[in-house]
Amino acid sequence: MALVSMRQLLDHAADHGYGLPAFNVNNMEQVQAIMQAADSCNSPVILQGSAGARKYAGEAFLRHLIEAAVETYPHIPIAMHQDHGASAGVCLRAIRSGFTSVMMDGSLKEDMKTPSTYEYNCAVTRYVVDMAHDVGVTVEGELGCLGSLESGEAGEEDGSGAEGKLTHDQMLTDPDQAADFVARTGVDALAIAIGTSHGAYKFSRKPTGDILAIERIKQIHAKIPDTHLVMHGSSSVPQEWLAVIREYGGKIKETFGVPVEEIQEGIRHGVRKINIDTDIRLSMTGAMRRLMGQKPEEFDPRKFLAEALKAARDLCKERFEAFGSAGQADKIKPMPLEAMAARYAQPVRVAA
Ligand code: 13P
């Protein structure tokens, strides 16, 4: 069984200079699409469940779907990650139920809407790190709030995200504060704010440096070269799928995502985990709408879901290849969580 800690995967990615897409999962077809793509190109996998997914499917269903993936593809190392934990309690419950990685999002208060204080973020994240590392589980923290540098709007989507207007300071992670945060909390990975937001509506034009601050990644990486950086809100919002959705009756306004080339630039500067949810949703919706439009007599939901699965699988494979994780799965020797816990128990290794 190759369920591993996310830290092990991110360390391997850093050692070999690639990035790993972390795909959000809500149902069986999404898990199967990601696993078929990973299997076909030999990529390690991060499967993550958001607050929205936990509400939709329930934690037990999510966990069992991921366990089914582990059982079906024993040769692929998989990290089971909890996305955007609102509190220490949410993270501890995920750890208890078998997640090998948790995100403690202390950038927001427990309501997942209100930006918190820096002191609160440090304290709650440190607490989760102490618990999680004792059992070899990885912790991702977040500093700065996701939101649009273009509009100043915060980015609530799928159960988490600030509400209303934010200042530029809140939407751009400060490199010095990032260094202080990592030193105080001991997180394995840090989600940074650089102008991306969750969902389909990220940018009203193809983003340039003023609205997508890739330069900020370089400054942060220079301060904390040994911390794995995480890009949230990193769907590329494929124009071809928007066109299919519109052609078959969907209504999606003009919008742009994070170009794959910008993510690749981030990977060259310390980004190791790239969160993708919306792209899978857009491709599945496009594929289902197309089949419904082309075959109005069809009534078997499996037919629509099979099309959706294929569309998501092709998209995931493209991302595994573009981020460089394709070809890496069989080079990773799964390490038990106990061994990870023993590594964390050595202060020198943890601080590195
Ligand atoms: P997208 O909405 O851009 O896919 O981002 C997902 C995400 O960051 C989940 O945490």
Tokens of 200: 């389909």
CA 138 – ligand 1 centroid, Å: 19
Q: Which atom, in ligand 1's list, is nearest to the CA of 146? A: 8
CA 202 – ligand 1 centroid, Å: 10
Report helix angle 118-134 to 337-344, nearest 10.
120
Q: Are strands 78-85 and 189-192 parallel, antiparallel or unpaired?
A: unpaired
DSSP 281: H
Q: Can you say whether residue 100 is alpha, beta or left, with left for phi > 0 and alpha for psi between -120 and 50 degrees?
A: alpha
pLDDT of residue 116: 94
Active site residue 174: no
pLDDT of residue 346: 83
| pLDDT tens, residue by residue, 84-122 | 999 999 999 999 989 999 999 999 999 988 999 999 999
pLDDT of residue 194: 95
Give the chain's residues under pLDDT 70.
1, 156-160, 347-352
Ligand 1 proximity of 276 Cβ (cutoff 6 Å)? yes
Tokens 């494979």: give the residue: 317
Strand partners, 206: none
d(CA 253, CA 102): 34
Q: What is the amino acid identity at position 184?
A: R
DSSP 201: -
Tokens of 126: 């440190």
d(CA 78, CA 87): 24
d(CA 7, CA 135): 13
- Size of the chain, expressed as the number of residues it contains: 352
Which of 11, 39, 83, 279 is the catalytic position? Answer: 83
CB 311 within 8 A of CB 283: yes
pLDDT of residue 169: 80
Positive or negative, the CA dihedral 254, 260, 261, 262 is positive
Could you give the C-alpha distances from 175 to 66, 171, 182, in angstroms and in order?
Answer: 35, 13, 11
Tokens 């692929």: give the residue: 76
Tokens of 243: 């066109």
Q: Which atom, in ligand 1's list, is nearest to the CA of 280? A: 4
pLDDT of residue 352: 45
d(CA 175, CA 177): 5
Kindly compute the dihedral angle of the four CA atoms of residues 128, 131, 134, 135, in this order, to the nearest 10 degrees.
-90
CA 79 – ligand 1 centroid, Å: 17
